[in-house]
Chain A
Amino acid sequence: MFNRFTKAARESVTAAQRIAQQSGARRIEPAHLLGGVVESGGPGGDALEFVGLDQAHLDDGAREDPLDPQALAILGIDLSEVRGAVEESFGEGALSRAPRRSKRGRVPMSRSAKSALEHALRNATRLGHGWLDTGHLVLGVLDADDAPVRATLALADVDPAVLRREVERRIAAGAA
């Protein structure tokens, strides 16, 4: 499967693995793949940059830690304020005490990340491409329709249809 990946696409998957590990995730998720694409560039990375989706949004969406300031802001809760009050009473870092996670060496692909890669291949085939680039990866993630990715896009104010169009345009330009 990976032999037809472009260098940037391969780097995206490697970066996704690293991002997942660093965030303490149990699995590589589609949002980690997008993070890898942001790092590695290519048509997919350019399109993500164009619509304004950066690592900060993705960190937030892919993060294993569900104590999520953006999501709490939706409910009108200012996490930094809560954190300040709690730390005053319980000491520094009191709220950061997350349940302990095992530090694993390699992080496997989640089911939806695998599905994103399958959809990426399908997109390459549909477009008649014998290679798989970061643009196909982004299309694959969009087609996998992962809920956290949908939420991340919504919070970053990115319309999936617009992102798709920007990716397709760059793929077409690159293949011409």
Chain B
Amino acid sequence: MATRSELTAAAAGSDPATGLRAVRALRELAERLEALQVERARDQGWSWQQIAEALDVSRQAAHQKHGRRKG
């Protein structure tokens, strides 16, 4: 198994396949955290406007992305 430093070198280095895989995983993690936090914010009575401002997106974008989701 490659060591952590070797992996880091691979991610920052010349192989886009490894680097892009890391980026994709990070994006997926961010998406899931966002869904959880938005859901909680709504449960606590936040408006879509407030959520949108916290995420630095438009109100429409926030609502479109999370508005139809429940549970």
A residues whose Cβ falls under 8 Å from a Cβ of B: 65-68, 70-77, 79, 82, 86, 90, 94-95, 97-98, 147-148, 150-151, 154-157
Contacts and interface: CB of A to CB of B under 8 A. Distances in A.
Contacts of B15: 150-151, 154
Contacts of B11: 74-75
A6 B36 CA distance: 49
B19 to A, nearest CB: 8
Contact of A75 (B6, B22, B40): B22
A71 B2 contact: no
Contact of A72 (B1, B10, B20, B29): B29
Given A67-B29, A67-B32, A154-B10, A72 B18 contact: no
Interface of B: 1-2, 4, 6-8, 10-11, 15-18, 20-22, 24-29, 32-33, 35-36, 40
Main secondary structure of the interface of B (DSSP, over half): helix
A151 B17 contact: yes
Given A67-B29, A72-B26, A77-B26, A90 B21 contact: no
24 contacts: A65-B28, A66-B25, A67-B28, A67-B32, A71-B18, A71-B21, A72-B26, A73-B7, A74-B10, A74-B11, A74-B18, A74-B21, A74-B22, A75-B22, A76-B4, A95-B33, A97-B32, A98-B32, A150-B15, A151-B15, A155-B2, A155-B7, A155-B10, A156-B2
